[in-house]
Structure 1
Amino acid sequence: MKKLILMMMLVLGTFFSSQAQKVPTAEEIAKKNIEEIDKRLKLTPTQKSVIYNYTFDLAKEQLALYKKQQAGTFKEEDETKFFKLQNETNKNIKTVLKPEQVIEYNKLTEERLSGIDPNKKKRKLKKGEEEEKVVGIEGLKTGNN
């Protein structure tokens, strides 16, 4: 009986640990990106389709780079190549957007680079109350310095 329970725990532990470490596919990454962009910029169906293709290609390269890092075959040139592709993708996306959308896209890009979460509301401070400072590695992660 003990062996059966131990075996079941081992099987369940393996199952849950494999589910927790699932790497998203290029389609999932591109879909998430296009949803966020569409929510902010109100894209037309044509814009959405073209931008999806750009983000999908970038996501494929991003996953390839991740796999190289995991395999230990990563080279610095790979990272440089990825950043060039990322800049080219941003440039191509901007050519598809209307001028007012480009302004909002630039804001979105800045927020992504700085780590700001637009869905997270800032709490208003009461009189005499100070903003809570987060120190250490958590402070670096959140950008609250």
Structure 2
Amino acid sequence: MIFGTVFFAAAQPKTPTATELTNKNMDAMDKKVKMNPTQRNIIYNYTMDMYKEQLELTKKQQAGGFNDDDIARFYKRQNQTTANIRNILKGDQQTDYDNFLEEQLRGGNKKKKKKHSKDEEEEVVTGISGLKLPANAIPPNGNP
């Protein structure tokens, strides 16, 4: 029984830290938005603060002690962070940042491939459409 508990605990994914999340976000943003070192440092700090708050909310949620005010406060913070980042960026950087945000909302740069048969080419499906079931997968009575 102890062995099973230890094995189960070891199999649980480790929650990333705010630093890990920030670094991953900044690396992805660097590929899309060409920032100078000053911009990068300021944006890094904004992003780090946002991820710290997000992780605090996640811990609170797991403990069962969060409420709608906490969620509203987080979304307000997220919107403030986005506005602050946009204020740091200039000209085309803002457009690049908007494109980066849209890509993140679609699930990042990941592509899902669907195979129909061996003879057909693979169809690359991105965004939400990759998650939708084909029309013929739902029975006529509507119950899957």
Secondary structure at 2:66 match in 1: coil
Q: CA, structure 1 residues 121+40, in 2 after alignment: closer, same or farther (shift >3 Å)?
A: farther
Q: Report the RMSD for the aligned CA atoms in angstroms.
A: 3.0
Aligned mates of 2:128, 2:33 — CA distance in 1? 29
1:16 to 10, 19, 29: 10
1:82 to 64, 68, 74: 74
Q: Percent identity?
A: 43
> Which position in structure 2 is the counterpart of 1:111?
103
**TM-score, structure 2 length as denominator?**
0.73
> Which position in structure 2 is the counterpart of 1:100?
92
1:75 partner amino acid = N
The answer to whether the Cα contact below 8 Å between 1:47 and 1:97 also exists between their aligned partners in 2 is yes
**TM-score, structure 1 length as denominator?**
0.73
- Structure 2 gap segments, 5+ residues each: 115-119, 134-144
Compute the displacement of 1:121 (Å): 8.2
1:25 aligns with 2:38: no
User: Pairwise mapping of residues 1-145 of structure 1 onto structure 2 (< 5 A)?
Assistant: 10=4, 13-14=7-8, 16-17=10-11, 20-115=12-107, 117-120=108-111, 131=123, 142-144=130-132
Aligned mates of 2:37, 2:31 — CA distance in 1? 13
The answer to whether the Cα contact below 8 Å between 1:62 and 1:82 also exists between their aligned partners in 2 is yes
- Would you say how many aligned residue pairs link Structure 1 and Structure 2? 127
Aligned mates of 1:31, 1:119 — CA distance in 2? 18
Q: Which has the higher helix share?
A: 1
Compute the displacement of 1:140 (Å): 5.9
The answer to whether the Cα contact below 8 Å between 1:30 and 1:52 also exists between their aligned partners in 2 is yes
